[in-house]
Chain A
Amino acid sequence: MTFVMTPDSEKRSILVVDDNPLNRELIAAAVASASCRCVEAENGKEALAKAKTEVFSLIFMDLLMPGMDGFETVRHIRAMGIETPIVALSALSMKQDQERALAMGCNAFVPKPIDLAQLRDIIEKYVKREQQGQPSKSTPALQSVSRPSFDFSPYRLLVVEEDRERSEEHVRTMAAFGFSVRQVANCNEALDLLHADPASLDIIVSNLYTTGIDALGMLAMVRRQYPRVLVFIFTEHYDPDMYQLAMQQGADGIFPAALLDGPAIGMIESALYRRQQPEMTTTSLSDQLRQAQAQLISYGCEPPCHACCLAIKSLHEAGGDIVRCRKFNNSGRCGFVLADIAGHDLASLYMSAVFLGILTSCWDACQKPANLLQVINGEFNKLGYPKSHVCVTAMLWDGMRRMLHIATAGNPGALLYERTTGGEFSCREIVGGGMCLGLLKTNDLIGSAMMVCPSESYLFLFSDGIEKETVQKAIAADPALLNKHRASGMCSPILLHARPGQQDDMALLSFYIPQPEPQQHPCYSFLTGYDGIDRACRWASEVLAAGKVPRGKDFDFILLALREALLNAVEHGNRRSSEAFVDIVIHSAPDLLVIEVSDEGAGFDLERCLAADSVDGQIGKRGVPAMRKIADVITVEGGTVSMTFSGQ
């Protein structure tokens, strides 16, 4: 490959993410030799901040990094709508690691140690392809919207946290996004700073509980005396009552501390954006609002998990249409929300931000669609914007049991096309309706349904700009649509049949339920309960006894680790709810065993649990110290704990 020397400003940029400075140096040399500009990041958070503010032609991603690992970082980057090719570099050589990296959104996987010539080939492949104008990645089925960069550097942010270690971590996170950051230990000190120089701060991000005055007390004083200062509060856990109280008292946002490095930034960005609104000219306001609303759209997992197949199409100009999907665990538990925020004024923009804020902070803890809509309705009623409202359909898909839970508020419900035994499709209408959120003070007018969906079914969700007859007519006109065995490509032909001239309120979500793959790995499910743990362990011991224990590993200890993971799922993940399932999947290969335990909870901070280590009180630490001692690798992804045991 021949590269032409170009000035730095014109060079293509390549982001290198690796915690090892020697590796970064090596890759930087390969990048420089390809006449590209190298930007380095030593961890996932720094990488996200840089990916958010700069366009790269290629990203090299180390998978094993402290804190946010490469898998998680890639997932975040894809969720931000960034389609830059990502090449994973890792010492992980197992096939499933490679598969996981690709599933998370990497384009290629290169095992370490790194071969310089191979690196050059990769740069040539991707950068040259981009120079030739080819898309660096096949166009995804899902419409993606890139977020424009937001410059946080003019804003002075104060972190209020007593725990020194966590405070340092939050400061690093915020600094990585570009804020000018200071820190104090408690709210009294924060107020002292403001009293001494009211112009010294723009944003306060505070732990709810600090010694002396707490964050709510500080909030009241800041609102009275320094109304221009934005106040965000974080808590250890989601607490609906506390969150409502904080919003009532005028907090600009409240979220669990674990979201500080991701969704919370979006919340801060929205608040800063709102603060800038008065400076807009009247003519640009509408466009900017639409643009801002469009930025709030996200299609979640990409590529979608294999439990289902999802495609979405909305009219380009339809600001306010929001689609979010969320993978809750590895056993096929996903959530989808399709919403339309009425209007294109400031109030509707604010409601969009609040809506997404609630989704990001509450969804994990509130996976029941009807309950989620009730929480959102409660928050909207507190906002008191009677002219603004939201139509929403929320859906939970339990892929393991092929069970669909759906709740609607103001939306037209859904259509389910099921394949009959004769091979034809029958159409079932799922009643929607209910009242739009934000219009009604009570929560009892939300429609909800629960059903088992057979394989090869299609589900169509649509906003109120589309009538169900439109979908039915489109499918009747072209029955071959239903034989695609995928969701992508379904929406556009159907929208062609929609009302001519319709310019808004049209979002269609197509959801395909594939045939279950032949069960390659033993799996077991049980409803939460201690007896279930015993049964599951007996099942697992039979599976393991069939020669699946890697060399050098102890059968009893593997069962002990499994038992601890199941206890964690029952006690913490499912909070002993007898209606919640625990799923186990055992993957095995010669000298390799991976056990996945999934629950219906929100997952947990593995690093924090690993930091705790003592003989007793194991269950208080979710059994993680014991699991970690036995397994070679333990990972947590949503409600799934994976333990890897390798042969020696």
Chain B
Amino acid sequence: MKVLLQENSLVLQPETDLIASKIEELRNDVLAQMKKHPEAEAIVLDATGIEIVDSLGVNLIIGIYRQAVADSKSFEVINAGSRFIKVAQFFRFFSLFSINGETTA
């Protein structure tokens, strides 16, 4: 996973799909990065490398969102491809946070 600290935003860019076989490692990485950068005021999930999301992936995204809210940080998804957008619509992500990409919420 690529990690960038831009201004006050912590940008997390997974390089794999958010699916069961990859999720445990990703979860550990994400939590470690959020803990490492408490000063970040916004958490940004860069979905450039994400095409497939299963229910464990959904749980991870929701988990990051909830952790961000609990820490009084904002959360958004950027660079979402069309397949990610389809899944996001299916799981009603748009009602929780903004998603920017090929189709913008």
Contact = CB atoms under 8 A, between A and B. Distances in A.
Contact of A567 (B20, B90, B92, B93): B20
A557 B58 CA distance: 14
Interface of B: 19-21, 52, 54-56, 58-59, 62, 83, 86-87, 90-93, 96
A140 B52 CA distance: 50
Contacts, number: 51
Interface string A601-621: 000000000000001111100
B91 A567 contact: no
A615 B91 contact: yes
Contact of B55 (A531, A556, A619): A619
A585 B91 CA distance: 27
A623 B86 contact: no
Contacts of B55: 564, 567, 618-619, 623, 626
A467 interface: no
A26 to B, nearest CB: 41
Contacts of B20: 530, 533, 567, 570
Contacts of A564: 54-55
A626 B56 CA distance: 12
B86 A618 contact: no
Given A531-B21, A533-B21, A567-B54, A616 B59 contact: yes
Given A533-B20, A615-B58, 15 more contacts: A530-B19, A533-B19, A534-B19, A554-B86, A560-B52, A563-B52, A564-B54, A567-B54, A567-B56, A570-B20, A615-B91, A615-B96, A616-B59, A618-B59, A626-B55
Nearest to B86: A556
A166 interface: no
B90 A617 contact: no
B19 A563 contact: yes
A560 B83 CA distance: 11
B87 A560 contact: yes
A629 interface: yes
Contacts of A534: 19, 21
A619 B57 CA distance: 10
Interface string A499-540: 000000000000000000000000000000011011000000
Contacts of A531: 21
Sort A-B residue pairs by CB-CB distance and give the 10 closest, nearest first: A618-B55, A530-B21, A616-B62, A530-B20, A563-B54, A619-B55, A623-B55, A615-B92, A534-B21, A531-B21
B67 to A, nearest CB: 13
Contacts of A619: 55-56, 59
Interface string A294-312: 0000000000000000000
B90 A560 contact: yes
A623 B20 CA distance: 13
A557 B53 CA distance: 11
Nearest to B19: A534
Contacts of A626: 55, 90-91
12 contacts: A534-B19, A554-B86, A556-B83, A556-B86, A560-B54, A560-B87, A563-B52, A564-B55, A567-B20, A615-B62, A616-B58, A616-B59
Nearest to A535: B21
Contacts of A616: 58-59, 62
A617 B58 CA distance: 8
Among A559, A570, A615, A619, residue most surrounded by chain B Cβ atoms (within 10 Å):
A615
Nearest to B24: A530
A87 B52 CA distance: 45
A559 B53 CA distance: 11
A615 B52 CA distance: 17
Given A530-B21, A533-B21, A567-B54, A617 B86 contact: no
A629 B90 CA distance: 9
Contacts of B93: 615
Contacts of B83: 556
A618 B54 CA distance: 9
Interface in A540-568: 554, 556-557, 559-560, 563-564, 567
Interface string A237-265: 00000000000000000000000000000
Contacts of A629: 90
B45 to A, nearest CB: 15
A423 B8 CA distance: 78
Contacts of B19: 530, 533-534, 563
Interface string A204-225: 0000000000000000000000
A619 B53 CA distance: 13
A562 to B, nearest CB: 10
Contacts of A556: 83, 86-87
Which residue among A531, A560, A570 has the maximum number of chain B CB atoms within 10 Å of its CB?
A: A560
A559 B51 CA distance: 12
A531 B93 CA distance: 27
Interface centre among B52, B55, B59, B62 (most CB of A within 10 A): B55
A363 B102 CA distance: 51
A561 to B, nearest CB: 10
Contacts of B59: 616-619
